[in-house]
Amino acid sequence: MNGSDIIILGIESSCDDTSAAVLKNGEILSNIVAGQKVHEKYGGVVPELASRAHQQNIIPTVDTALKEAGISKNQLTAIAFTRGPGLLGSLIVGTGFAKSFALGLDIPLVEVNHMQGHILAHFIKNKEENYPKFPFICMTVSGGHTQLVLVRDYFDMKIIGQTIDDAAGEAFDKAAKILGLPYPGGPLIDKYAKEGNPEKFVFPVSNIGDFDFSFSGLKTSLLYFLKKETAKDSSFIEKNVADVCASYQHTIIKTLFKKLIKAAQQYHITDVAIAGGVSANSLLRSELFRIGQEQGWNTFIPEFQYCTDNAGMIAIAGHYKFLKGEFAGQDIAADARLKF
């Protein structure tokens, strides 16, 4: 350890995961995520329960992250936290904690936009030293967002397309709910789809705007399709769950790539990345590789633990903001609708 080391504590609490990470000179020393099982029985995140759980989890999560990293609080250079977007009550817990901890330690405080964090996760040090080159396009697909972002520099990002209704992750989760699967349903649809035929059932691929997406029609078409089929055969879902999941998943991924390819062509981009929880999806990953080879792209997917919500991505964004000297004051407040 020497005086010029930059050691960032990252704090993430935008939705239903309380996370703390320690990052030294761009390298992760620890990345702890405390999930919240309490939402499962409600079929979605209950905001009030999420804030209460963050309140309980935040101190032990930070404590574990520091211990696992072998770093004492006095060695920290700065504290980075998610200011938004997200659930306000959840964000307030992380923001309040980060502000008090930074004040107590008398070190800089750095605010991070959660969506920029997802994208900057690509710059967490990896063994191959393989990072996207600017300008690149990042398709950020999560439970709350679906965005095509033109990334010109670490904090020079422009949203060139986004969903006008449901996010891709929401399309997975809502379909899972219709199928009677537990929340969050994305990983389960992915699992069942592996055994199914993606061509068995045909669902509509939306076609709106230039690079925008829409997924609510797809979800509705699944609902009506299942209503019709279960009226004829009440065990239709049971018998066809794998084919339904495979066909539905195939439609989401096809919709996403249609716009991603168009955007990369229009902006003459060769480095293409994905980020967010849905980038854990196995078809999305294999299609990015296949289509990337076809299109001559260099493709980038973060390590699995940095795809879903985590504080490692907040710490790396904080690291680059720290280098720019962009610090937040004690008057900073959480912002549920934070833009960039």
94 binds, among Zn ion, ligand KG4, none (CB under 5 to 8 A by kind): none
Among 84, 85, 132, 144, binds ligand KG4 (CB under 6 A): 144
The alpha carbon of residue 202 and the mean position of all alpha carbons in its chain are separated, in whole angstroms, by 28
Q: Measured from the CB of residue 56, what is the shortest distance to Zn ion in angstroms?
A: 21
| Secondary structure (DSSP) of 95-163 | HHHHHHHHHHHT--EEEEEHHHHHHHGGGS--TT---PPSSEEEEEE-SS-EEEEEEEETTEEEEEEEB
Of residues 255 through 294, those in contact with ligand KG4 by CB under 6 A are 276-278, 280-281
Classified as helix, coil or strand, 214 is coil
Residue with tokens 């938004």: 84
Q: Measured from the CB of residue 252, what is the shortest distance to ligand KG4 in angstroms?
A: 8
**Residue of closest CB approach to ligand KG4:** 277
196 binds, among Zn ion, ligand KG4, none (CB under 5 to 8 A by kind): none
Q: Which amino acid, residue 244?
A: V
Cα separation of 133 and 119, whole Å? 13
Residue with tokens 């930070």: 62
Tell me the per-residue interface mask from 306 to 335 with ligand KG4, x by CB under 6 A, - otherwise.
--xx--------------------------
Q: Which is nearer to ligand KG4, 99 or 174 (CB)?
A: 174
Tell me the per-residue interface mask from 14 to 43 with ligand KG4, x by CB under 6 A, - otherwise.
-x----------------------------
77 binds, among ligand KG4, Zn ion, none (CB under 5 to 8 A by kind): none
Q: Which is nearer to ligand KG4, 76 or 241 (CB)?
A: 241
Give the orientation angle of helix 236-266 with respect to helix 186-193, to 10 degrees. Answer: 100
CB 93, CB 47: distance < 8 Å: no
Of residues 176 through 235, those in contact with ligand KG4 by CB under 6 A are 184-187, 190
Among 16, 166, 243, 309, binds Zn ion (CB under 5 A): 309
Q: Measured from the CB of residue 188, what is the shortest distance to ligand KG4 in angstroms?
A: 8
Q: Which is nearer to ligand KG4, 229 or 335 (CB)?
A: 335
Cα separation of 165 and 132, whole Å? 29
Radius of gyration of the chain (CA): 20
Burial class of 49 by CB neighbour count within 10 A (0 to 12, 13 to 18, 19+): middle
CB 210, CB 161: distance < 8 Å: yes
Question: Is the N-terminal amide bond of 135 cis, ω within 30° of 0?
Answer: yes
45 binds, among ligand KG4, Zn ion, none (CB under 5 to 8 A by kind): none
Among 142, 240, 251, 281, binds Zn ion (CB under 5 A): 142
Of residues 185 through 244, those in contact with Zn ion by CB under 5 A are none
Binding residues vs Zn ion (CB under 5 A) = 142, 309
Give residues in contact with ligand KG4 (CB under 6 A): 15, 142-144, 169, 172-173, 184-187, 190, 276-278, 280-281, 308-309
